Amino acid sequence: MTIPILILYPHSRCNCRCLMCDIWKDTTACEIGTAELERHLDDMEKLSVEWVVLSGGEPLMHSDLFRFCRLLRERRIRTTILSTGLLLERHAAQIVEGVDEVIVSLDGPARVHDRIRRVNGGFAHLARGVAAILHRDAHFSIATRSTVQRENFLHLRETAAAAQTLGLRWISYLAADLTSTAFNRPERWSPGRQSQIALSETEVPLLEDEIEALISEWGPSGFVREDAAKLRRMALHYKTHLGLCEAVAPRCKAPWLSAVIEAGGTVRPALSKHPQVG
């Protein structure tokens, strides 16, 4: 048995208050200790772990994250940090020295991003952090993901333009999770809470138009990570939620290739929305 990809949540809390996520409501400040990670390094080697993705919560809130990263690098394990970007500037030197890649969350141009993140000046913090990293290493791999939902679905092209202006390597889009208990939700969202993030029946065609414009304007550049079919699937996600079309599960190899270990020790296959297995 092998697990090429291990997703670790080194810290349980987050420094944003995003509309589509409840992780920020966790006040326990639980984290995976470096000694605990060290204890599992031999098991990682036996399982042929090649890549550790540090997610959460905000990994950069961990009390000793870069010792964590050094232990992984000593085993020649690739490391990626998924971050809100608010602490990049503070830790830029250590990131460049000890991490292979950073992927930040970007929800739109400045005004949209800050509204969704509910952090005053959040976009500016992110921009300074990206600049600080690229100042130290112009070739460092730093890119972005954007969660598409009601507050930003008309700004996909603006988001790509903002990402390119910041100097990010690429952008990836995904639709918001509306129904699982992931992201620190003690139970599934009520229909009313879902409707705050989901698109309405009249908004879905507008998303489809924006996706087609994104494909036309940005597809040839290769800057957008997804191909046209995957981008169009975002509209299908919201159509399915509204009952306008049948749900079709995409083919996914992740549960056979990866596992998640949360800050409190919970183990899940591939994604935090899957049931606990250990």
187 pLDDT exceeds 70?
no
Whether residue 159 is contained in a domain is answered as yes
Full domain range(s) for residue 40: 5-269
Whether residue 212 is contained in a domain is answered as yes
**Each residue of 135-172: pLDDT tens digit?**
999 999 999 999 999 999 999 999 999 999 999 999 99
Count of domains observed in the chain: 1
The CATH number linked to 217 is 3.20.20.70
Whether residue 276 is contained in a domain is answered as no
Whether residue 275 is contained in a domain is answered as no
Whether residue 274 is contained in a domain is answered as no
Q: What is the pLDDT of residue 265?
A: 83
From residue 185, how far is each of 177, 189, 190, 218 by CA, in Å?
11, 8, 11, 35
- pTM of the complete model: 0.91
Segment (H or E) for 41: helix 34-46
Q: What is the pLDDT of residue 126?
A: 98
Whether residue 277 is contained in a domain is answered as no
Q: Name the token pair of 142.
A: 């730093």
4 pLDDT exceeds 90?
yes
Q: How far apart are CA 93 and CA 223, in angstroms?
A: 26
Q: Name the token pair of 161.
A: 């333009």
98 pLDDT exceeds 90?
yes
Whether residue 83 is contained in a domain is answered as yes
Q: What is the pLDDT of residue 177?
A: 83
**Each residue of 17-55: pLDDT tens digit?**
767 666 656 677 788 888 888 888 999 999 999 999 999
Whether residue 228 is contained in a domain is answered as yes
- Tell me what the pLDDT averaged over the chain comes to: 89
> What percentage of the chain reaches a pLDDT higher than 90?
65
What's the pLDDT band for 261 if we cut at 50, 70, 90?
Answer: confident
Q: 3-state class of 137 per DSSP?
A: coil
